[in-house]
Amino acid sequence: MKALVTGGTGFVGGAIVRELIRRGHEVRALARTASKTEQLESLGVEIAPGDILDRPSLERALDGCGILYHAAAIYELWTPDPGLLMRTQVEGARNALEAAVAVGVDKVVYTSTAAAVGEPKGVTGDETTVHRGYYLAPYEEAKHKAELVARGYKDRLKLVIIRPAGVLGPGDLKPTGKSIVAFLNGELPALFDGEVTFVDIEDVARAHVTAAGQERWGESYILAAQVLSIGSFYGMIARMAGVKMPPMVPAFLARLFAEFEEWKAGWTGRPPVLSRSSFAMTTHGFRVDGSKAARELGFTYTPVEESLRHAIQWYWDQGLLKRKPDCVG
């Protein structure tokens, strides 16, 4: 059965493609004309030109496929164009699912995010958690509204929803990966209290393909290995890499820094070192429980330290680090 993967040139989508290939599936990837597709083509992936905001291109790409993995999205906690973020997540999801209905591809694995759970402060969210009713970031709002769109297709499609926490691993150059690189390069002036939940990229890919193979239609799964405080997370990286921890500062100072960074970004166009959204999500606490996925999909989560080791090695191999970390081979 041939699978169409949207977002296949990205971090999560690319991992899904590799896992499908590893299991012997034929794979087609939707890609915009400006996307770099050489790595996918080297794996034998068929490239279908298109865009998730262009429904006819999705219908053409789905022709002859038996399942859709919709992983395309914008993952940024700061953007100069919030409207594009919302359209890409919400209208992109609607277009992909409408195209699947139109073409007769009734099996869909939809990539959401654990940020869409919306757990109240101090609560560890799970698949039964009711969203708190307000948003900490435009990204959370866009992904939550896109997931609501996806849920509206449960009577028309065989659908499973995957909700990864913060994803770690080789290839990550999104907000988490950028912060790790900045930390290792001594570019984070300080840290502040907060909590984040993490999961390994290979676990994310495996969960997507396993859920489809087990035909877990109608289910949603949070993918989460461990909840860590900011101090514990960066302390782990510091010990592994042999770098010095920056000081911890009160939250109000971090908030002022985030506000200054976003003001500066408005002038320079360069992303802020710390965005207000990232500050809000971290200080609120991003706490989710991934035990249902581990139990029902039958896998053990990769330890966060192992995920970090693989990621740091990749950052070094790519020439992104100023000095060689102790944990690099």
State the Cα–Cα distance between residues 245 and 171, nearest whole angstrom. Answer: 24
β-strand 158-164 against 166-168: which pairing, if any?
unpaired
Q: Is 166 left (phi over 0), alpha (psi -120 to 50) or beta?
A: beta
- Confidence (pLDDT) at 329: 83
Sequence letter at residue 323: R
User: How do residues 133-186 score in pLDDT, each as one tens digit?
Assistant: 999 999 999 999 999 999 999 999 999 999 999 999 999 999 999 999 999 999
Residue 101 has pLDDT above 90, yes or no: yes
Position 68 confidence tier, pLDDT thresholds 50, 70, 90: very high
State the Cα–Cα distance between residues 31 and 41, nearest whole angstrom. Answer: 12
Residues in Cβ contact with 123 at an 8 Å cutoff, skipping those fewer than 6 apart = 129, 287
Position 56 confidence tier, pLDDT thresholds 50, 70, 90: very high
- DSSP secondary structure letter of residue 127: T
Mean pLDDT, residues 222-244: 97
Mean pLDDT, residues 38-65: 96
Position 273 confidence tier, pLDDT thresholds 50, 70, 90: confident
Residue 213 has pLDDT above 90, yes or no: yes
Position 200 confidence tier, pLDDT thresholds 50, 70, 90: very high
Residues in Cβ contact with 212 at an 8 Å cutoff, skipping those fewer than 6 apart = 67, 69, 107, 109, 160
Position 65 confidence tier, pLDDT thresholds 50, 70, 90: very high
State the Cα–Cα distance between residues 98 and 108, nearest whole angstrom. Answer: 11
- Domains of the chain in sequence order: 3-165+200-224+289-298 (3.40.50.720)
- Confidence (pLDDT) at 78: 87
Position 209 confidence tier, pLDDT thresholds 50, 70, 90: very high
Average pLDDT, the chain: 96
CA–CA distances in Å: residue 60 to residues 29, 49, 56: 12, 9, 6
Give the number of other Cβ atoms within 10 Å of residue 76's Cβ.
Answer: 18
pTM of structure: 0.96
- Confidence (pLDDT) at 77: 86
- Confidence (pLDDT) at 1: 85
Burial class (CB in 10 A: 0-12, 13-18, 19+), 128: exposed
Position 109 confidence tier, pLDDT thresholds 50, 70, 90: very high
User: Is pLDDT larger for residue 304 or for residue 267?
Assistant: 304
What are 200's strand-pairing partners? Answer: 168
Position 202 confidence tier, pLDDT thresholds 50, 70, 90: very high
User: How do residues 73-99 score in pLDDT, each as one tens digit?
Assistant: 999 888 888 899 999 999 999 999 999
Position 34 confidence tier, pLDDT thresholds 50, 70, 90: confident
